[in-house]
Structures are given as C-alpha cells and as structure tokens.
Amino acid sequence: MIEPFFFGPCHQQVFAIYHPPLGGSGQVLTVLCPPVFHDYMRTHLALRELAIALAERGHHVLRLDYRGTGDSFGELGDVAISDWVEDIALAVREGRAISGSSVVRLLGVRAGALLACKAVGATQGVQRLVLWDPVPDGAGYLQAQRRLQAMMLQHNASLSRGERREAMQEYAGHLISQRMRQEFSLLDANTYASVPMSMLHVVSTASEPSFPVLGVPQEVIPFRCDWETLTDNVIRPRPVLERLIACLT
C-alpha cells in the first residue's frame, strides 16, 4: 500500500510517498529526487509509474517534494539549494528507518541530478546514482528557465507594463530568492565530479549527451522530451523508464 506522510522539523516538514516492496522484504531503498520548476509537473506521473515498477521488483521507494514545492511546507521564495539537499539527506535517513535497508540508490532528474549528487556527501550507504537527463550546471539551467519565462510572456499579451516587468523576474513562472540564484550558480561540473565515477550512470534523451564529466557511463534513449520548450505536455517516456528500471535494479 502506498503511504503518504510528512517528516522533518514540525515547521519545515517534507512531504513524501513511500512505496513498500511487493511480495517480500526488499533490501534496497531507492529515493527519487524530482526535477524542479517547469519540469516538476511534467514528470510527476512518470516518476509515480517508476516508483510503482520498482516496488513491484522488490525495492523500497521514496518519492519526495522538496520544501517550497508540491505538498511540502514552505514557500519557494524562502528556500534555497542547501535546503533541498538537506531534504534529500533527510529522506534517505527516513527511508532507511522505515525500510531497514542498508543499500541506497538515488535517481536524480534534470536539476534533481545536481541535488542528488550534492546530497551524497551528507548521506551514508548510497551505492548508486542514476541520472535522467541531468542538466550540465545550475547557472545554465536558470538561464533556460528565463528563456521559458520570456516565451510565456510572448504568449500573454494581456499583461500590463507593470505586470510584465514583475513577471520578468520569474523563472518559468516561479519566483525564487537571491540566495537560491546564488546557490544554483555554484552547482557545476564539480558537483558531479565530487561523486565517485563508479557510482554514476546517465540515461539521456539528447542525441548528443552533454554530461560534463568524461568517462561516466551514458546511454542515449531515443525519446523527445522537449525540456526547453514551452509546453505543459506530461512526459510518460516508456523506453526511458524501462532503462531507468534496469539501471536501478
């Protein structure tokens, strides 16, 4: 049975959904680190399907919403990268307490890949990190979100000059703090390089993968995700999910 719950300090609680293993007591805990901003809702169903599939294969699975996102406590404008990294570390500890698992695997999606790699130093027992279309760096990712914001404004001619000026400060419809912007800019190739190469595996839908660390195993799955286009289409990439399942199990 899927179990939603909150964990963490009472005023900063993180929402998570726990998927117990089906048909036995699994030994592996897999924590899914979702993407953020425009990518979050587009991948929500895909990550739910992935969690169910992994539970069917005997994994304990934890899905979380970072503080200020989804159903977790807080406002997006009040949190930063360091808070989200802490959320992942707390999720791993909470998942291990629930499951009793000694082996931990992380999946990071898009900007969630940077967060997952950053969180490895604050956790214990992480055996493997699988990254789905990881963004090369935080600064470039924010620039892409600003381009999406500009496209959104082009499609909304009804805004007043003041509303348009205010909306130009957003990132794909989200207003973030200066601290968030600063901490995003510190996430770069070194974030990935800080994790032992033997732990990393990249699954990419780009025809020319741009993962910034050489030597990390990468697989290209032909599937168009259109991450940097203005669309609300939900991504349900069956070929990608099948490959992620294989990498995580």
- CATH at 227: 3.40.50.1820
> What's the structural domain count of the chain?
1
72 domain-assigned: yes
How far is residue 134's CA from residue 164's CA, in Å, rounded to a whole number? 31
> Is 182 a domain residue?
no
**Chain centroid offset of residue 244 CA:** 14
Which two three-digit tokens encode residue 88?
């992942």
Asked if residue 159 is part of any domain, the answer here is: no
Does 57 reside within a domain?
yes
**Residue 210 lies in domain:** 3-138+187-248
Query: Is 42 among the domain residues?
Result: yes
pTM of the model: 0.94
- Residue 108 in any domain: the answer is yes
Per-residue pLDDT tens over the stretch 90-107:
999 999 999 999 899 999
**pLDDT, tens digit, for every residue of 101-157?**
989 999 999 999 999 999 998 787 899 999 999 999 999 999 999 998 888 777 666
37 belongs to a structural domain: yes
Pick from 9, 12, 16: nearest CA to 33:
16
Residue 218 within any structural domain of the chain: yes
Q: Residue 108, SS3?
A: strand
